[in-house]
Amino acid sequence: MNYNETLDYLYRQAPEYQRVGHSAYKEGLDNSLALDEIFDHPHRKFKTIHVGGTNGKGSVSNLLAAILQQSGYKVGLYTSPHLIDFRERIRINGEMIDRDYVTDFVEKYKEQFEPVMPSFFELTMEMAFLYFAEQQVDVAVVEVGLGGRLDSTNIISPDLSIVTNIGLDHIKYLGDTLPKIAVEKAGIIKKYTPVVIGEIGDIEVSQVFIDKAKSVEAPIIFAELFMNNFVAEKADNKLIYKSDNFPNLRGELIGPAQENNARTVLTAVEILTELNYTIPKDAVYKGFENVVEITGLMGRWQVLNSSPKVICDIAHNSHGIRYLAERLESEDFKTLHFIFGMANDKDTDSVMKLLPQSASYYFTRASVERALDEKILAVRAADYWLKGDTYPNVSEAVKAAIKNADKDDLIFIGGSSFIVADALPLFL
């Protein structure tokens, strides 16, 4: 099989949850443990840092990877979903996994892993761990896929666990209240292993983390309390962070909630230093200011065009959209053109009530099975006074928005990571 045939095989043999939804979801760690046995536990051959939470996992993971790389470590980075190329999920020092490795992995091991009937995520995670081990990385930053307690990645024994925040998302699998979701996310907290909590949230949520950490004797650090002298200011299209140990730290990521992500990362850096990681201050400054170039991160308040200004962001649930709406209010524009689509298993009502009513909407659907029909989306949006036209795909919506927009207008693309994924190739 060539590379494209191999990807077709992977999607067919082990469907990807992000694209097809519930039919691809497999709960529990049995498959992951079975695969790990087949490959002789490759994740034990390098250090790991585990990053979970509802939103911000990708930004935090990429920032940490960039900082560690600038500190001289050989760094593996495992994230999901990908936006353009499957290989975005598996990187070493910013370089995507080689296509030949993906093809060779399937050809060499499929007779061994097929009887396990793994999910796409379980199989690609094990591919990543084996690749990191063979390439002899020093440390891998591993992003949780869905939840935490029963997520495939929860077979690792990390040096540090991080939970960015808790919001309502994936309620079908994780629970319909914030404390229930927190219980699932807290499942990555390991015995004696320090855990950083990015946002305290409400009292019930924070108590879930405190109780879990206490039960396994894990030191727990709340970033908002640990970095109590932390300030973020916007200047020259950058965010400038000021704290006791890192004054005037320039952040390249300026999208929704990046202040919270930055505070979480800086707290993690302090804890990793206590764990004998060597992280020079200069590495932190370089990592924050150049994370996109260092790791290849995309889709976080990414500017795709200047006139008219076009921005995309992968925020896709009410927790993320709330920050997104606030961020849009700070932008200068005459008219906001909003290219909008969602997955069919998301809570559309909780998202739509947060969106600006004054925008001109371009309701569309992404090229995945999970995409919500654009006409259904438009009908639901009308209940929240969101008005616009429907388009059968992202390309048509983008063409229409560019045609209608003046140079002083803003075109925003979002609502789903899949909408962003379809839009990026039109600009890059």
**Which domains does the chain possess?**
3-295 (3.40.1190.10), 302-427 (3.90.190.20)
| Tokens standing for residue 347 | 């809570």
Instruction: For the chain, give the number of residues.
Output: 428
Q: What is the pTM of this model?
A: 0.93
CA-to-CA distance for 94 and 112, rounded, in angstroms?
Answer: 30
| Tokens standing for residue 356 | 């600006």
| Tokens standing for residue 309 | 């200004």
CA-to-CA distance for 190 and 348, rounded, in angstroms?
Answer: 34
| Tokens standing for residue 281 | 């201050």
Residue type, 426: L
Average pLDDT value for the chain: 93
| Tokens standing for residue 377 | 């989306």
pLDDT tens string for the chain (428 positions)? 899 999 988 888 765 534 444 444 456 799 999 999 999 999 999 999 999 999 999 999 999 999 999 999 999 999 999 999 999 999 999 999 999 999 999 999 999 999 998 988 999 999 999 999 999 999 999 999 988 899 999 999 999 999 999 987 666 668 879 989 999 999 999 999 999 999 998 899 999 999 999 999 999 999 999 998 999 998 877 899 999 999 999 999 988 789 999 999 999 999 999 999 999 999 999 999 999 999 999 999 999 999 999 999 999 888 889 989 998 988 999 999 999 999 998 889 999 999 999 999 999 999 998 899 999 999 999 999 999 999 999 999 999 999 999 999 999 999 999 999 999 999 98
| Tokens standing for residue 84 | 């353009």
CA-to-CA distance for 374 and 381, rounded, in angstroms?
Answer: 10
